Amino acid sequence: MINPYLPQEAEIVERIEEARDIFTLRLRFTDPAVHRAYSFAPGQFNMLWLPGVGEIPISIVSDPEDEHMYNHTIRGVGRVSNGLRTLRQGDRLGVRGPYGRGWPMQGAVGRDVVIATGGLGCAPAVSMINYVVRRREQFGRLIIMQGIKHSNDLIWRSSYEQWAELPDTQVLLAAGESGPQWPWAQGNIMVLIDRADFDPENCTAMLCGPQGMMVAVTDHLMARGVSDDDIWLSMERNMQCAIGHCGHCQIGAKFVCRDGPVFNYAEIADLLSEPGL
């Protein structure tokens, strides 16, 4: 029987410094057969293992159709993520995955797509944005909203600028604090929602970022007439097994690693209102 906890070896093909504390690792499995067999859906994640340090869940940010390599964008916050930060091109690490349920891309076909992200919450959204962009004719309007604390924290600035040029696409960015080169809004993401031009009765909203931000955005979207079952949230919890065994990631009866990380709001609204969850 194959051990589900056994990572596969992957090599860093490229390392990109994105911003203060944030970096992207472009990876390829060293075994060509493993690399060929690997596929994922937007919104899924891998467990990255740094031998002797630990293992953490990280979203896959590349387009699922890019067969050459797959990317992880990581903020260094603690032991493992800062350990990964020290790796360079050519170094190797362990990867197992992909895990979890991704974004409802098929259900969004023919509808407006509203994306709201906060902080590095944009990481799980990037592969989904690229998915819509590559299949632009299948979807209605595309609204991309991103809130960050400081304008210096914005990564993928050129991607946002390119997405803003696409037909039927609106890119709205806001920073709590900003430097002189910031052409977008001041404030948090709430200031953007009323400027977004979409059909509340025919849209799929996809949110990621801090839980409080997602709940506040959900309230705002519902006040604009979006139904709770058209709103999807990517949740974060501490994880160990990533396969629904250890219970570390539980929210009530749900396992974020197996039943999520993407949940329909109607499915978890009661759980989110419970204190401490």
Ligand X SMILES: Cc1cc2nc3c(=O)[nH]c(=O)nc-3n(C[C@H](O)[C@H](O)[C@H](O)COP(=O)(O)OP(=O)(O)OC[C@H]3O[C@@H](n4cnc5c(N)ncnc54)[C@H](O)[C@@H]3O)c2cc1C
Q: How far apart are CB 215 and ligand FES at their closest, in Å? A: 22
d(CA 143, CA 272): 25
Question: Could you give the 3-state DSSP secondary structure of residue 126?
Answer: helix
* Structure tokens given for 68: 């050459």
Which two structure tokens, joined as six digits, stand for 197?
């031009």
Give the nearest distance from C-beta 228 to ligand FES in angstroms: 25
Contacts of 277 (CB under 8 A, 6+ apart): 251, 252, 271
8 Å CB contact between 131 and 63: yes
Q: Which does 123 bind (CB under 5 to 8 A by kind): ligand FES, ligand X, none?
A: ligand X
Answer yes or no whether residue 241 interacts with ligand FES by CB under 6 A: yes
Q: Does 268 bind ligand FES (CB under 6 A)?
A: no
257 near ligand FES, judged by CB under 6 A: yes
Among 251, 230, 231, 247, which residue's Cα sits nearest to residue 239? 247
Of 95, 192, 226, 249, the one binding ligand FES (CB under 6 A) is 249
Dist. CA 56–CA 196, nearest whole Å: 35
| 246 annotated binding-site participant | yes
Using the rule CB under 6 A, give the single segment among 144-152, 163-171, 227-235, 241-249 that binds ligand FES.
Answer: 241-249
223 binds, among ligand FES, ligand X, none (CB under 5 to 8 A by kind): none
Residue in this structure with the two tokens 């539980």, named with its chain if needed: 250
Residue list for the binding site = 241, 246, 249, 257
Residue list for the binding site for [2Fe-2S] cluster = 241, 246, 249, 257
The residues of the shown chain that bind ligand FES, judged by CB under 6 A, are: 239-242, 244-249, 255, 257
